[in-house]
Amino acid sequence: MILTIENILLIGSFLLFISIVIGKTSSRFGVPTLLLFLTIGMMAGSEGIVGIKFDDPQIAQFIGIVSLNFILFSGGLDTNWKTVKPILKEGIALSTVGVFLTAMSVGLFVNWLTDFSLFESLLLGAIVSSTDAAAVFSILRSKNIALKANLRPTLELESGSNDPMAYVLTISFLTLVTNPEQSLASILPMFLLQMILGGILGFAFGVLSKNIINNIKLGFEGLYPVLMIAMMFITFSATDALGGNGFLAIYICAVYLGNQDLISKKTILNMYDGLAWLMQIILFLTLGLLVFPSHVVPFMGIGLLISLFLIFIARPLAVFISLLPFKMKLKRRFYISWVGLRGAVPIVFATYPLIAGIDKANIIFNIVFFISVTSVLLQGTTLSIFAKWLKVDLPDGKKIITEHDRFITNSPKAVMHEVYVTSDCKMIGSKIVKLGFPKSAVITMIKRNDHYITPDGSTKIEPNDILVVLSDNNEDFELVSQCLKQKVVNPK
């Protein structure tokens, strides 16, 4: 079957529907949902039951980049800075030194095992060097795995922030493969430019996005998530055009925005959560369509050896070396080593050699595909089991609820107060989003001139307003008074 304008929506929506239905029932059998999406794509592909003819790595790469934008941005928005701050150094070490060491060790092993040149081997190592954000976020959250201390934030920070490093290494070694006369030292300036510009521009666009969202009055709440999407793509494309790393920029931008007070923030977070799932499904379906199973079979033996080396030697070695400067229990280091899932990201990166047209591009793509499948199948199905074996899970599956979790899930509040805004209140004329209320305190209604209004972040405080505030505890109202810069006055 050949995709046409007339049937692409019908086929695409049908595959999407099947993926969601089957994915919903798969969790009870312990099968990673994303692996099923990939399988459905393969069954619908050229050698599958449906027989859709799709063999365009450029389109697959474009879909992959767009999808990764949404997945990384959503992961960044969900990252709580208070939770991440204590383990920031460990996360950065894993996402930089850890990725580099993984790429080097896998590359050298491939060079010893196969007839690949050194740069071709290092290219393959770079492609599979990062853990997959889509796979880690999806499995940890869908299985609701409760881990001790700061283990889960460490894993999510690493998976969300290590794709930029892997991308830079992939582009660097691809450049060396296509231009063998260049040396390793020649790509160092590009590497530094990518990482430094990506970090600076990501933060700058985060600040810019916050100011735009909070100071523009759109009139419709549904337009704020659309505005956020526009800012996301502007951040990625502008950073990339200036020579920076777009993936790093959008992740840093999203982490910044996720920890700020924004107009319609709950709507934005909920929408991005759904879009991230949609993009994960589309990405895995597309990559499944691109794969020819008969092309993968001849490389299963080599792929299995590389995959086992990656899982049992390269990943643990990289984790233990990169975490040497930090105090951490041995069992937690082992668990971090096991949560080194490879998913869609390496397959997307493997399209770059295909488009560049290097000699061994097809071999690299098929080996990377097999590595990703075995990683998700072996590691993804055993995360809960290993957590129990290593005793790093919380007893009875208890989950630590943070203020960030309460905000997203809209957990019920325990205390309600009506706060009267006096005429000498310093915050009169300020938007609610700029009051700086604690995350656990929410203004649900405002009584103004004998009428009740439902506020949003752009609503301005006026004299004699009566704010109906819900919170988790009475102590929060001391913070509320500080934010309003007046004493909390109950209406008569």
pLDDT tens-digit map of 349-391: 999 999 999 989 999 999 999 998 898 888 877 887 888 898 8
State the CATH number of the domain containing residue 442: 3.30.70.1450
265-290 and 5-26 helices, crossing angle to 10° = 110
- So what's the pLDDT on residue 438? 77
290 plus 362 within the same structural domain: yes
- So what's the pLDDT on residue 318? 96
Q: Which of 227-241, 352-366, 449-463 has the lowest mean pLDDT?
A: 449-463
Q: Is residue 70 part of a domain?
A: yes
> What's the structural domain count of the chain?
2
153 plus 270 within the same structural domain: yes
50 plus 84 within the same structural domain: yes
Residue 229: pLDDT above 70? yes
> Residue 374: enclosing H or E segment and its boundaries?
helix 361-380
Structural domain boundaries enclosing 455: 412-484
416 plus 391 within the same structural domain: no
Q: Is residue 67 part of a domain?
A: yes
172 plus 201 within the same structural domain: yes
187 plus 138 within the same structural domain: yes
177 plus 288 within the same structural domain: yes
Q: Is residue 402 part of a domain?
A: no
Q: Is residue 492 part of a domain?
A: no
Residue 116: pLDDT above 70? yes
392 plus 416 within the same structural domain: no
Q: Is residue 490 part of a domain?
A: no
Q: Is residue 182 part of a domain?
A: yes
DSSP of 165-232, one letter per residue? HHHHHHHHHHHHHH-TTS-GGGGHHHHHHHHHHHHHHHHHHHHHHHHHHHH---S-TTHHHHHHHHHH
* The token pair that represents 204 in the structure block: 């700058």
CA 11 to chain centre: 28
* Domain closes at, from 369, 397, 425: 397
pLDDT of 263-278, one tens digit each? 888 889 889 988 888 8
Which string of b and e fits 355-380 if b means at least 16 CB within 10 Å? Answer: eeebebbebbbbbbbbbbbbbbeebb
Q: Which of 98-102, 114-118, 304-308, 459-463 has the lowest mean pLDDT?
A: 459-463
384 plus 454 within the same structural domain: no
User: CB–CB of 98/166 below 8 Å?
Assistant: no
- So what's the pLDDT on residue 93? 94
* Domain closes at, from 365, 397, 429: 397
pLDDT of 136-174, one tens digit each? 766 666 556 667 778 888 888 888 788 889 999 999 999
Averaged over 302-317, what is the pLDDT?
95
392 plus 474 within the same structural domain: no
246 plus 393 within the same structural domain: yes
Q: Is residue 405 part of a domain?
A: no
- So what's the pLDDT on residue 403? 46
Q: Is residue 212 part of a domain?
A: yes
* Domain closes at, from 342, 372, 397: 397
366 plus 428 within the same structural domain: no
State the CATH number of the domain containing residue 257: 1.20.1530.20
Instruction: Compute the mean pLDDT over every residue in the chain, rounded to the nearest whole number.
Output: 84
Averaged over 222-228, what is the pLDDT?
91
